[in-house]
Amino acid sequence: MNRLKGKKALITGATAGIGKAIAHQLADLGVHLILTGRRSERLVELKSEIESSYGVQVQTLHFDIRSNKEVEDALSEVDLESVDLLINNAGLAAGVDPVHKADLADWEQMIDTNIKGLLYISRLITPVMAAKKSGHVLNLGSIAGHEAYPGGVVYTATKHAVTAINKAMKMDLHGTNVRVSMISPGLVNTEFSTIRFKGDSHRADSVYAGIDPLVADDIAEIAVFILNRPAHVDIMDVVVFPTAQSAATMVFRG
Ligand code: 8X3
């Protein structure tokens, strides 16, 4: 049963990977979209691709989520009342250096995007959802929000923060009918690792070598399942691994 047709979703970080896959799968169900990201050409391409394939309305917003001023300016162009679904997808890992060697700029980029950016958007959308007593926030977490691992001192900290934000947001919105959910994936083969390794695609490929990793569409299917539940069902967190992974650092390469 499609309960999503005619709704509107705002997806952050929609130009690639999981965000883009969620955009396609929601549009396929008749959901209108507001797609946000930093790469304006990719947003324009995605808008025309989705509008022509699915016949839904797509608005694009081009801004850097790390700047609250940019977020506020961009969202002033949006009818916030019309947003039914907020998909907090924007996030990244930068570098794998240990605490005593890491680059501060990497830490700031992850903290500013994965935690502060998510909060900036949520701060603007959730009051409107609470006032109209409907809406659904889906946060993209990670297995790194449940486990720490070496080389991930700040990335895992930011994803633990998302886990905490997800739980506290649910409690803050208690009694408003607004649903709050999270997906916590393990290894998903997107450009995530290429970004983490700063463009070293050989190293990025080695993360997924010898296993059948998750792909963006696997996560998008779970997102659609969560968002399409009846109004009384709120799935708080789905932890999902590829079959060959059993913990953040435990991968069976056959
Ligand atoms: C991405 C999954 O295992 O690289 O959040 O932390 S992992």
Give the Å distance between the CA of 75 and the centre of ligand 1. Answer: 29
Give the Å distance between the CA of 153 and the centre of ligand 1. Answer: 12
The structural domains of the chain, ordered by start, are: 8-251 (3.40.50.720)
Q: Determine if the pTM surpasses 0.85.
A: yes
How far apart are the C-alpha atoms of 182 and 150, rounded to whole Å? 24
Q: Is 82 in contact with 129 (CB distance < 8 Å)? A: no
Position 239 scores a pLDDT of: 98
The predicted-structure confidence for 53-71, as pLDDT tens digits, reads as follows: 999 999 999 999 999 999 9
What average pLDDT does this structure show over 39-47? 96
C-alpha distances in Å from residue 106, one per residue of 12, 25, 92, 184, 232: 20, 32, 10, 22, 40
The predicted-structure confidence for 152-172, as pLDDT tens digits, reads as follows: 999 999 999 999 999 999 999
Q: Is 173 in contact with 122 (CB distance < 8 Å)? A: no
Q: Is 187 in contact with 212 (CB distance < 8 Å)? A: no
Is the model's pLDDT at 132 over the cut of 90?
yes
pLDDT > 70: percent of the chain: 100
Place of tokens 């909060």: 119
Specify the residue with its C-alpha closest to ligand 1, atom 4.
Answer: 187
Is the model's pLDDT at 254 over the cut of 90?
no
Q: Is 74 in contact with 63 (CB distance < 8 Å)? A: yes
Element (H, E) at 139: strand 136-140
2: left (phi over 0), alpha (psi -120 to 50) or beta: beta
Q: Is 216 in contact with 249 (CB distance < 8 Å)? A: no
Is the model's pLDDT at 215 over the cut of 90?
yes
| Average pLDDT across the chain, whole number | 97
Is the model's pLDDT at 147 over the cut of 90?
yes
Q: Which of 54, 120, 149, 155 is catalytic?
A: 155
155 catalytically annotated: yes
Specify the residue with its C-alpha closest to ligand 1, atom 6.
Answer: 144
Specify the residue with its C-alpha closest to ligand 1, atom 2.
Answer: 186
